[in-house]
Amino acid sequence: MLSYFKQLSLNRTAWLLLAFIAFALEATGIYFQYGMELVPCVMCVYERLAILGLIIAGLLASISPRFFLTRWLALFIWGFSAFKGLALAVKHHDYQANPSPWNQCEFKPEFPQTMPFDQWFPSIFAPGPVNCSEKQWEMLGLGMPEWLIVAFAMFALAFVIVLISQFKRAKPQYRSVFR
C-alpha cells in the first residue's frame, strides 16, 4: 500500500487532484459568500487561507513531483495547511458550541504586516461584521465548522499516509529495449 502512495506522490495527476479538491472547497466558500449571501467571520477567513495553502501545495508539487525538494516543500505546505486548518475548524466549532462573552474570535483578522491578505484580496479574505459563534448554515445537522473538520481531517490523514510512504523505497523501473 505504501508503494502505491509513493508512486502517487511521484505523479503529477495526484497533486493536481489535491489542488482541484481544495479549489472546489474554496469555490464553495466563495459561493456561500456571494451566491447565498452568507457573511464570513474571521475564522472563516483563516480557514480559507488554510485551503489556499492546500491549493498552493498541489500546484507546486505538480510542477515537478519527481524532484525531491519540490515534493518535500509541497508536503510541508500540505501538512501545515491541513493541520492548521483542522485546528482552526475545531476552534471555530468551539466558538459555536460554547458561545460566551469570553469565548469569541477577533473582529479583525490578525495577518502579519508583510502579508495583509485582507487588504490585498478583500473580496476573499475580508471578514464581515459577524460573530464566529453565529451559525449561518447547516446541512445534515452539521454546520460549516463541522464540515470543515471532516474535510481537514481527511486532508491530514491523506498527508500522513503520503508522508509515511515517502520513506518507502520506490521499486526501480527497468526498461528493456527489446520488450
Cα(39)–Cα(107) distance, rounded to whole angstroms? 13
Confidence of residue 162 (pLDDT cuts 50, 70, 90): confident
pLDDT tens digit sequence for 26-71:
999 889 888 888 888 888 888 988 999 999 999 998 888 778 788 8
Helix (H) or strand (E) holding 142, with range, is: strand 142-143
CATH number of 1-102+114-167: 1.20.1550.10
Task: Identify the residue with better confidence: 106 or 58.
Answer: 58
Mean pLDDT across the chain, nearest whole number? Answer: 82
pTM value is 0.81
Least Cα distance to 10 among 70, 57, 84, 96 occurs for 70
Q: Which residues are catalytic?
A: 41, 44, 48, 105, 132
Can you tell me whether residue 168 is helix, strand or coil?
coil
Least Cα distance to 49 among 99, 141, 140, 118 occurs for 118
pLDDT tens digit sequence for 93-105:
888 888 777 667 7
